[in-house]
Amino acid sequence: MGGRGVAQRTLREMVGTRNAKIGTFLVEFCTPGIGHILKSAGSDFALLDMEHSGFGFDTLKHALRFMEAAEMPTIVRVPSRHYHHIARALDMGAEGVMLPMVGSAEEARTIVAHAKYPPVGHRGVALRVAHDRYAPGPVLEKLRDANRRTTIFAQIETRDGVSEAERIAAVDGIDCLWIGHFDLSASLGVAGQFEHPDFLAAIDVVRKACVKHKKSFGRLVPDVATGTALYRAGFDFICYSGDVWVLQTAMSEGIGALRQVCKPRRGAG
C-alpha cells in the first residue's frame, strides 16, 4: 500500500512551504477512480495536462469532480495563456493553473489578471457554478476566497523565460516557477541534454529567482533518482513521472520478468 502524502490539504498551503510536494502527471487516463487511486498511493497533487494530452474542457469538467471527490489538489496545465482558457478552467473548479511558455513579467502580470477577480484582476464573475461548489453565499466573500485559493504556476521553458525569471518570480500572484525541461533544453540548443552546462546554468538562474522571491520551484521527473537529486538542488514541487509511463514501466518490468521464467515447455505444440 502506498505511503501517505504530506499533511497539506490545498495547493495554497503547499506553495507556502519549501517542503517536498510529490505528485504525478495525468496525460492519458481520466477514470472515476483516478483521484482515489492517486490519493491511496500517497500523491500530494495531480498535474492534469491539457496542452499535449488531447483532454478537452468536457473531460476536464469530469476529471475535476473525480479529484474533488478524493480531495486531491489538482493543477491544470491549460492549452495557452489566453483568458478564455485560464478563466474557464478556474470556473470548472481548478485549484491551480499552469501556463506554458511564460517569457516575461508582462505576460506573468496578464496571467494573474486573467486568473483573479477584481480588484486584483479582471476575471469574469460566475457564481454558484463548479468553482464555488454550486453554493450560495456573499459575493465579496466568494471573490476574496477565490483570489486567495487560486494558485498560478508559470512554466519557464524558453531562453527568454530564463532571462526574465527574476522579474517573473517578483510578480505578485505567481506562486511557482516550473521548468519545462524538454522545451527549455531545445530553446537553448541542447535538446534533451539535461547535464549540459548551458542547461544547468539556466536552471540555476531560475532557482535563484525562486529563492530571492520566496516562490516554489517545480519540475517533472522520470524516476526516483532524478527527483531526489532535484529536491537536493532546490526543487520543492516534484512531479513523479505520469500515468502512461508508470503503467508502461510496471508492465514492461513485470512481463519481462515473467518471460524470463516462463520458458516454452518441451514437447508443447
- Going residue by residue through the chain (269 aa), what tens digit of pLDDT does each one get? 445 444 558 999 999 999 999 999 999 999 999 999 999 999 999 999 999 999 999 999 999 999 999 999 999 999 999 999 999 999 999 999 999 999 999 999 999 999 999 999 999 999 999 999 999 999 999 999 999 999 999 999 999 999 999 999 999 999 999 999 999 999 999 999 999 999 999 999 999 999 999 999 999 999 999 999 999 999 999 999 999 999 999 999 999 999 999 988 887 65
> Which residues have CB under 8 Å from 265's CB, separation 6+?
none
**How high is the pLDDT of residue 268?**
64
Cell of 251: 508492465
> Which residues have CB under 8 Å from 142's CB, separation 6+?
127, 132
Sort 44 into a burial class: Cβ within 10 Å, 0-12 / 13-18 / 19+: buried
Rg of the chain on CA atoms, in Å: 20
- Given the C-alpha cell 463548479, which residue does it identify? 130
Cell of 243: 500515468
Cα-based distances in Å from 229 to 165, 215, 238: 22, 19, 11
d(CA 213, CA 215) in angstroms, rounded, equals 6
**How high is the pLDDT of residue 6?**
45
Beta carbons of 92 and 85 less than 8 angstroms apart: no
**How high is the pLDDT of residue 1?**
41
- Active-site residues: which are they? 52
CATH superfamily for 11-243 is Phosphoenolpyruvate-binding domains (3.20.20.60)
Do the bridges between strand 74-77 and strand 46-49 make them parallel or antiparallel, or are there none, so unpaired? parallel
- Given the C-alpha cell 541542447, which residue does it identify? 190
Which of 133, 146, 17 lies closest to 71, judged by CA? 133
Cα-based distances in Å from 269 to 259, 260, 261, 262, 264: 18, 20, 19, 15, 10
